[in-house]
Amino acid sequence: MNLDEMIKYARGEKQADLLLTNAGIVNVFSGEIIPGSIAVADGYIAGFGSYPAKRVVDMKGRFVAPGFIDAHVHIESSMSCPTEFARCVMARGTTTAVADPHEIANVLGTGGIQYMIDSSEDQPINIYFTLPSCVPATDMETSGAKLGTDDLLPFMDNSRIIALAEMMNFPGVIYKDPEVLSKIENMKKHRKPVDGHAPGLTGRDLYAYISAGILSDHECTTEKEAKEKLNAGMHIMIREGTGAKNLKQLLPVVNHRTARRIMWCTDDRHPHDILEEGHIDFIVRSAIRMGADPVVAIQMATINPADYFGLNNVGAIAPGRQADMVVFSDLSEPFIEQVYSRGTLVAEKGKILPEIDKPAPLDIKSSMNVKIDDIDFSIPADAQHARVIELIPNQIITGQSIVEVAVSDHFAVSDIQRDILKLAVIERHKGTGNTGKAFVKGFGLKQGALASSVAHDSHNIIIVGTNDEDMKTALGAVVKMGGGLAAACNGKILAGLPLPIAGLMSLHPVKTIKEKLDNLIDISRKFGSYLNDPFMTLSFLALPVIPELKITDKGLVDVAKFRIVPLFVN
């Protein structure tokens, strides 16, 4: 912004580019709806009221609010590259995203972070980044990279790096791991916030975690947990993603005293949910339907995250702020009709305007290193009883149980009748051949196998199946695609979704990704699965920082004990 010019525009000494008249302006500072006009110049708000302008647009009484902000999102979970992600969510009113490139960093290290920064330049929305703090998340898995303090330091001065990303290694914090504390201290020296990730942490352990300077949490699943963290000084991000949906449980925490410390985020949201339901706009609408005050719901999508991250150029319709705005007719049901980005109309009725250019994609190296013939899915039956991962509907946390396993020819096998299926994670970064094997209850498959190179957080290849042959066939398909999702049955590949960018993302539009993913989900339902999105569920079973029992390429992880445990129990 040229300050001299901006002051002239604000004083009306120079003709503005755009004047939006007869608008119901959602003022997120005062919590009021103020009728009036908005002057825009050089992509910024110049002022309110009557201004000379090159173009005048009558809003006809419609509401104009600041563009929405996603406070915590992994772009990789949309399975689309930054360009396609931006075009998709922008049409739904998201004009700023705070993205954690943790997923690609676990695959490609600092090269993955730089890829995300470079490929998100010149997009029609603002994409800021938080710096991955836990690569790998633990030492109980094999990742494609390991990022220490020295690896992160060169990024900390970058103006688009605005925080240290979710500190998942909460044991490392409370037990004073020097490397963990060094990352936190360095980011604090750069006067940038540190995001948290502490599911279920309570009492003195929580206080120790917060005392290290960790300011937020997006992992609350109960009202009690959120209240304790709020009372201890944390900002709460209420998440409504695909795999984890916490809005209904946490909305009672929102009131006129707490709301300014709470914001919305999607974290991980699959293409079909974005296209069919929406993005942050969906959370705003859902909260209003559940009884939230509409302006408060909008504040939580705009000024709250802007203030938390120190983004003083977005989050409000105010002089000197970027002219990122959404337009809608019904305050109680804010379906986004128009989106302005930096003062330019970029989307209307859910569609990108055709003159919005798409930056050229950047090249990125392959990330698949698996010798398929060396992989063995068999599990010798070393005992009668084994630990089983138990799925919890609509959550990424899991339970665990100990059951008597089905045995055939001295090998433990899937038990379709009891819905206990074989689960495996194959290391894909270094070609070690590491294969973690276990059992899971809750997928419902009666035949076939599902495989994915999207497996949080190290993104090795995870496979669930009713038999070894189909599991190996699905593995082969993922490797051949250079990463992706696959469904196999009777030794044949029935569907696939290639994700050649780090095994996580596609260059295709989100709509194309959705169509392929829908086909995979339809086939999984024909296999017998009753989950809304079995691939999203599958992807989180390898996340060894979310309770209770998970699997990595090194074996079963008891998250509460934070250690690898044997599959069989004597």
- Neighbour count for residue 240 (Cβ, 10 Å): 23
pLDDT digits (tens, 9 = 90+) for 335-344: 999 999 999 9
Tens of pLDDT along 402-413?
A: 999 999 999 999
Average pLDDT for 377-384: 96
Give yes or no for residue 359 having a pLDDT over 80.
no
Tell me the pLDDT tens digit for each residue of 185-241.
Answer: 999 999 999 999 998 999 999 999 999 999 999 999 999 999 999 999 999 999 999
Confidence of residue 393 (pLDDT cuts 50, 70, 90): confident
pLDDT band for position 466 (cuts 50, 70, 90):
very high
Contacts of 141 (CB under 8 A, 6+ apart): 457, 458, 460, 542, 544, 552, 553, 554
pLDDT tens figures, 486-529: 999 999 999 999 999 999 999 999 999 999 999 999 999 999 99
Mean pLDDT throughout 375-388?
A: 97
In this predicted structure, the answer to whether residue 562 has a pLDDT above a threshold of 90 is no
pLDDT at 570 (0 to 100): 87
| CA-derived radius of gyration, the chain | 24
Report pLDDT digits (tens) over 45-61: 999 999 999 999 999 99
State the pLDDT at residue 206: 98
Question: pLDDT of 266-302, one tens digit each?
Answer: 998 989 899 999 999 999 999 999 999 999 999 999 9
- Distance between CA atoms of residues 231 and 227, nearest Å: 6
Average pLDDT over residues 346-355: 90
121 CB-near residues (< 8 Å, 6+ apart): 359
pLDDT tens track for 164-176: 999 988 989 999 9
Residue 518: closest CA among 481, 479, 487, 477: 487
Task: Tell me how far apart the alpha carbons of residues 148 and 151 are, in angstroms, rounded to a whole number.
Answer: 5
Predicted local distance difference test score (pLDDT) of residue 138: 83
Domain 68-301: CATH superfamily, name plus number? Metal-dependent hydrolases (3.20.20.140)
Quick one: pLDDT band at residue 91, thresholds 50, 70, 90?
very high
pLDDT tens readout for residues 260-274: 999 999 998 989 899
CATH number of 3-61: 2.30.40.10
Confidence (pLDDT) at 311: 98
Kindly report the CA angle at 280 between 224 and 310, in degrees rounded to 5?
80
Across 335-434, the runs of DSSP E, i.e. the strands, are: 338-341, 344-348, 351-352, 379-380, 385-391, 398-404, 406-408, 411-413, 420-426
Strand segments, DSSP code E, in 132-173 are 161-167
Task: Return the residue matching tokens 């029992």.
Answer: 549
pLDDT bucket at 364, cuts 50 / 70 / 90:
confident
pLDDT, mean of residues 21-27: 98
Do 235 and 218 form a contact (C-beta atoms < 8 A)? no
Q: How far is CA 499 from CA 77, 86, 301, 311, in A?
A: 11, 18, 30, 32
Looking at residue 497, what is its pLDDT? 97
Task: Give residue 367's pLDDT.
Answer: 84
With bands split at pLDDT 50, 70 and 90, how would you rate the model's confidence at 123? very high
> Which of left, alpha, beta for 297 (phi over 0: left; psi -120 to 50: alpha)?
alpha
**Which tokens sit at 414?**
């899937």
What's the pLDDT at 450?
98
* Residue 472 contacts residue 375 (beta carbons within 8 Å): yes
Return the closest-CA partner of residue 510 out of 94, 25, 17: 94
Entry pTM: 0.91
Rounded to 5 degrees, what are φ and ψ at 75?
A: -55, -35
> What is the average pLDDT across 425-450?
97
CB 38 within 8 A of CB 44: no
pLDDT given at position 31: 97
* Residue 355 binned pLDDT confidence (cut-offs 50, 70, 90): confident
pLDDT of residue 1 exceeding 80, the answer is: no
Within the chain, all domains assigned CATH 2.30.40.10 are found at 3-61
pLDDT at 259 over 90: yes
pLDDT for the residue 171? 87
Whole-number percent of the chain with pLDDT over 70: 100
Cis peptide before 361 (omega within 30 of 0): no
Q: If you search the block for the tokens 């859910």, which residue do you land on?
A: 350
The mean pLDDT of 56-82, rounded to a whole number, is: 97
Q: Is it true that the peptide bond before 136 is cis, omega within 30 degrees of 0?
A: yes
Of 146, 127, 128, the residue nearest 136 (C-alpha):
146
Average of per-residue pLDDT values in the chain: 95
- Per the document, the length of the chain is 570
Q: Does the pLDDT of residue 312 top 80, yes or no?
A: yes
- Looking at residue 285, its pLDDT comes to 98
Contact 301, 285 (CB under 8 A): no
Q: Are 99 and 127 in contact (CB under 8 A)?
A: yes
pLDDT of residue 545: 83
How is residue 556 written in tokens? 């079963």
Task: Specify the domain boundaries for CATH 3.20.20.140 within the chain.
Answer: 68-301
Residue 362's pLDDT band, with cuts at 50, 70 and 90, is confident
Cα 334 from Cα 263, distance rounded (Å): 17
Distance of CA 2 to the CA centre of its chain: 35
Looking at residues 7-24, what average pLDDT do you find? Answer: 98
* Listed residue (267, 236, 264, 265) closest to 396, CA to CA: 267
